[in-house]
Amino acid sequence: MIRATVYLLVFAVLAAAVAWVADHPGAVTLTWLGYRVDTDVAVLLAALALLAAVAMILLWALRLVWGTPGRMMRHRRESRRLKGYRALTQGMVAVAAGDADEARRQARRADVLLGEPPLTLLLSAQAAQLNGDEAAASKYFTAMLDRPGTRFLGLRGLIVQARKKGDTPAALDLARRARELRPNTAWVLTTLHELELRAGEWLAAADTARLATRAHAMTTAESERNRAIAFYQAGKAAEASGDKDAALRDARRAVDLDPSFTPAVVRAASLCANAGKHRRARRLIEEAWSRAPHPDLAAAYLALEDDQDPLKRLMRMQRLVSRRPADPESHLALAQAALDARLWGEARHALEALGTRADRGLTARACRLWATLEEAEHGDGAASRAWLARATTATPDPAWTCEQCGTAHAAWAPFCAHCSAYDKLHWRSPAHTPQLSSEGASTAVTAGASADARGLEAPRPAEAATDLGAAS
């Protein structure tokens, strides 16, 4: 609407100008090179307008002829660029589809058409990886480090390659370089954290987990759990090097971050006791028992005192299990302490609280305790053997079991020994009874046989597992 109005205004002005010239014709005389031209103003203006139009047409034609080669070159470059990007796109699609040959062919085509290595290096590297040529992929990723626009992607590719080869030091160095480029990128922080754990750099891993929370790469709960694991491992390393103060400090940090982390509680309590802080050690274990009873907590609680009097040990166990009296682990711990004190009625009462039916969760450990009780109290070998037979088919005793691959472990560790999964070991019954290898298996069998001969309970799998972990 505005444009039409402008056109009308311009047309009206021109019409008015023509009318004004017609009303005032005037006369013009030109003398040039011996020639004289007499005409009126209207004819002169028309001639000037015609000359201007001819000049504009000639100028346009000249520019058209002069600019044709440049336009042809620009058109050719644009066509090559479009074809190059089309090849780049098709190459990425081939990578996603797993077609290594097509990806490699399109990468070469895109490189020829575009002539811009930063755009094609990643495609070439991925095509080489699909084809199994890790050396070529490494060459492309390394070349990407020379260009600021692709340096980060090159580092990521090299990190993935280093982790595939199990080269943790190289992967760790590359991850730190990647963090310098992009310190708040989630995968950089989580990858760096795991690599620091695998490299045994526990305190650095704890600091990375803290930074990951700020960058929203981990939730607060995940960060606290990861930092607890890191401090626990750092405490073990400090204790091994003889730095008892650092070992206690790191163990207590781990418990503060994750009070339900049983291995950390046991270690912190043991270190507190060694430092003469027995009240603090007892409180740590009692609070942990209130959250989640565990046989290692019971063993650590009894180990806090040097007194070997079975009756006093039973009284201490009664004080501990009173924190959570209805839990099956409380009944089992109390039954074991009563058997050691030769209080058969107390032991029977604790075991009866568990029931005698397998469908109620009666475990192999409970069956062995029943066998020990029948033999010790009544000398009933037949009943004892029947309970031992039931132990072979009862619910397996809980163990540190990897929730990813199902492997049972002798002791807790940050990484699964079978599948290397991080923080996947949880205290639960495995799908099948774990078999201890070499020295651990022979120790368990020998101890079990001698225990049967004495009328006592054979060591639990968790206890044998702890011995194995200490031996290793």
Name the average pLDDT for the chain: 82
| pLDDT the model gives residue 45 | 75
| Residue 21 domain-assigned (yes or no) | no
| Residue 301 domain-assigned (yes or no) | no
357-389: b or e for each residue (b if 16 or more CB lie within 10 Å)? eeeeebbbbbbbbbbbbbbbbeeeeebbeebbe
pLDDT, mean of residues 413-417: 93
Q: Which two tokens stand for residue 35?
A: 């020639």
| Residue 134 domain-assigned (yes or no) | yes
| pLDDT the model gives residue 118 | 62
- Which structural domain range is residue 117 located in? 77-182
| Residue 177 domain-assigned (yes or no) | yes
| Residue 453 domain-assigned (yes or no) | no
Q: Which helix (H) or strand (E) holds 426?
A: strand 425-428
| pLDDT the model gives residue 441 | 35
| pLDDT the model gives residue 32 | 75
| pLDDT the model gives residue 116 | 57
- The stretches of 98-243 forming alpha helices (DSSP H) are 100-114, 117-130, 134-144, 151-164, 168-181, 186-198, 202-214, 220-240
Rounded alpha-carbon distances, angstroms, from residue 300 to 167, 286, 304: 38, 11, 6
Between residues 426 and 359, the one the model is more confident about: 426
Determine the Cα–Cα distance for residues 68 and 83; give it in Å rounded to an integer.
22
Determine the Cα–Cα distance for residues 130 and 96; give it in Å rounded to an integer.
10
Q: What is the pLDDT of residues 57-100, one digit of tens each?
A: 988 888 878 877 777 787 777 776 677 667 766 766 766 666 76
Give me the CATH number covering residue 178: 1.25.40
| Residue 156 domain-assigned (yes or no) | yes
Question: Residue 292's closest CA among 258, 269, 319?
Answer: 258
| Residue 132 domain-assigned (yes or no) | yes
| Residue 303 domain-assigned (yes or no) | no
pLDDT band, very low/low/confident/very high, at 272 (cuts 50, 70, 90):
very high
Determine the Cα–Cα distance for residues 408 and 420; give it in Å rounded to an integer.
13
Q: What is the pLDDT of residues 300-340, one digit of tens each?
A: 999 998 878 899 999 999 999 999 999 999 999 999 999 99
User: Over 90: is that where the pLDDT of 18 sits?
Assistant: no
Between residues 207 and 136, the one the model is more confident about: 207
pLDDT band, very low/low/confident/very high, at 211 (cuts 50, 70, 90):
very high
| pLDDT the model gives residue 69 | 79
| pLDDT the model gives residue 94 | 67
User: Over 50: is that where the pLDDT of 451 sits?
Assistant: no
Domains of the chain: total: 1
| pLDDT the model gives residue 81 | 65
| pLDDT the model gives residue 388 | 93
